[in-house]
Every structure is written in C-alpha cells, then in structure tokens.
Amino acid sequence: CRGKSWKYLTSVSFPHTLFSPPLLFPQGEDNFTYCPATGLAKGNEHMEFAGWAFPFPGVFLMEEFISEDEESEIVELMDQDDWKPSQSGRKKQDYGPKVNFKKQRLKAGSFTGLPSFSKKIVAQMKACSVLGGFLPVEQCNLDYMPGRGSAIDPHFDDWWLWGERLVSLNLLSKTVLSMSCDSEDSIQLFHTSSKENGELSPPGSFTQTSACKNSGEEGINSILSPRLVPSKEVTVAIRLPRRSLVVLYGDARYKWKHAIYRKHIEHRRICVTFRELSAEFSAGGRHEELGKELLEIALSFQGRPV
C-alpha cells in the first residue's frame, strides 16, 4: 500500500447504522490509546490504567493514503454537490442503494453508482493486503464542523447488508475514533515491564502466579499478574491523522462500537466511508443476484448523491 502502513488484527466498528442506541458512555477521556506499531491498546498516562495494555485486533491504519493535492481535488469535487443535513450536526452525501434497515428491504432506487473521483481511491485500496477482494457497493461522505457540534454516538454499523470490512478515509483534519464495548465480558490486561527501554512485555510472558507482592517495589524487574477488568470500563482512542485510511473488521467491527465526539472535531472534517456487501448478497448468498446488480451499478463510477 502507498504511504505509511500499519496492519494488525483487532476488535472494533463504523457509520450507517442499524443499531444507533442513545449515548451510553460519557464523553470523558478515553482511558486507552491504540498503538498501530504494536497492535496494542495502551493505558493512558495519569489515568487508572496507566502502565497496562491489551491486544486490540481488527484495525488497519495507513497514514498519508492520498496526497494533499488529491485531497484538495476530492473535496472540491464533493463541494460541487449539495450536502444534506444529517443527525448530530453532520451533513452527508450518500452514494448507495435505497435501504430500510428495520424492515430489511433493499432496492436500487435512484442509485447510479459511486462518484467518478472514487475510482482512483478504490484502485489504490487494492494494493492493501487487508482489502483483497474488496468491492465497495456504497459510499457515504460525512461533513463534520465544530460550529455545528458535529458528532456521532457509539454504534455498530448494520451487518445484514454491509460486510465485514468498513473502510474510511479521513480528510481535512485529524480526529479520534473512540471505541467502547458494552458486553458483559472482561478484558485481560498485562503490565508494561521494562521501564528502562519503554517496551511492553507480551501477554504470554505472564502467569497467574507471577504477582509482585511488594507494592512499594517499582524496579524494572517487578512483575504483575494479568488484571481482569469489565469491558464496559474500557474505552480506546484510535487517532486518525489527516488523509489516513482506516479499516475496521473482525472483533473491531462486531464487538466494539465506534464514535466521534464533539471535542475531537477541531476543524472541518470529511469522512468518506466505503462498505462492501454481506455474505447474504455475495456469491452463494440468498440475494446473490441483487448483489450483482448493485455492484455493477456501484462500480460504473457514474454516480451522483442520492
């Protein structure tokens, strides 16, 4: 893939949602931050979980996926079309079929395909190993502005129609994708060990009996047993640089909700999200023929916002 590539498997998710419950988590500080270099969620300094970490799979993050000139050209072309008011201070442009998620009904409607400027973006995605065979059938552009209080509450994207991989291109300004989990499960944390070199010990290096019983001992040889915490107490920040591409899949797609809070919208931000079809609409699925029809329309790249 072009640009700086970080690839790790996780637990996470994205916008156009079947499930969009009321805000369950306060818009406080996320207590962990995702590290793309290691694939770990690391406890933030000066907070309860400082010095603790856990694997956070299902995230592919590529910085500088497109150039500044490409970004300017894409936004200029978007702004030639109308932006429609959306929820929570956002504006949107939809390129996709007409869907009733509650009743699980779908038809092409006025869908004429993805926009012409996305053809190059989709072609560049094919160089990413995690996007092998990715065929987008829908594109949603969301415009965030601090003056409008733009945000999106924690939610799962629909999985009746949309497939496993959710792909988003972050334009115009950086932001933070806040991940939260409201399951009854627990997460096993492991302690960072070598304070001397700042490295993290892998989870397998700990045993249930390897506790440091002297709470005052803070040397680099101290070893703590893994710590179990309720999933509901954990929130993870995924920092999205300007012009970065992020892919969410696996647990990240199906177990973790994602949100963008108002405080993380400092300037105008455009999110371009691409979605593929679920197995039900793919080869061998119950609605395979409808899926083929929609893909043929989508990949003509002749679309206007619906």
**pTM for the model:** 0.83
Token output for 280 = 């039900």
Residue 198 lies inside a defined structural domain of this protein: no
Of 145-149, 174-178, 198-202, 294-298, least confident by mean pLDDT is 198-202
Q: What CA dihedral angle connects 273, 274, 279 and 285, to 10 degrees?
A: 130
Residue 261 lies inside a defined structural domain of this protein: yes
Residue 275 lies inside a defined structural domain of this protein: yes
Asked whether the beta carbons of 33 and 236 are under 8 A apart, the reply is: yes
> What CATH number should be reported for the domain holding residue 42?
2.60.120.590
Rounded to whole angstroms, the Cα distance separating 227 from 237 reads: 20
Rounded to whole angstroms, the Cα distance separating 179 from 156 reads: 10
Pairing between β-strand 244-248 and β-strand 162-171 as defined by DSSP bridges: antiparallel
Domain span including residue 114: 32-185+227-300
- Is residue 289 scored above 60 in pLDDT? yes
Residue 211 lies inside a defined structural domain of this protein: no
pLDDT for 23 equals 37
Rounded to whole angstroms, the Cα distance separating 298 from 277 reads: 11
Asked whether the beta carbons of 276 and 114 are under 8 A apart, the reply is: no
pLDDT for 145 equals 98
pLDDT for 25 equals 40
Asked whether the beta carbons of 237 and 164 are under 8 A apart, the reply is: no
Residue 118 lies inside a defined structural domain of this protein: yes
Residue 219 lies inside a defined structural domain of this protein: no
pLDDT for 1 equals 53
Residue 105 lies inside a defined structural domain of this protein: yes
pLDDT for 199 equals 52
Q: pLDDT digit string (tens) for 77-109?
A: 999 999 999 999 999 999 999 999 999 999 888
Rounded to whole angstroms, the Cα distance separating 45 from 30 reads: 11
Count CA atoms within 13 Å of residue 171 on its CB side.
23
pLDDT for 27 equals 53
Q: Give the chain's radius of gyration (CA, Å).
A: 21
Residue 204 lies inside a defined structural domain of this protein: no
Q: pLDDT digit string (tens) for 232-274?
A: 999 999 999 999 999 999 999 999 999 999 999 999 999 999 9
Rounded to whole angstroms, the Cα distance separating 218 from 237 reads: 28
pLDDT for 90 equals 98
Number of domains in the chain: 1
Q: pLDDT digit string (tens) for 179-238?
A: 999 999 999 999 976 333 445 544 444 333 333 333 344 443 345 789 999 999 999 999
Q: pLDDT digit string (tens) for 18-74?
A: 443 333 444 568 999 999 999 999 999 989 999 999 999 999 999 999 999 999 999
- Is residue 304 scored above 70 in pLDDT? yes
132-161 mean pLDDT: 96
Secondary structure (3-state) at 262: helix
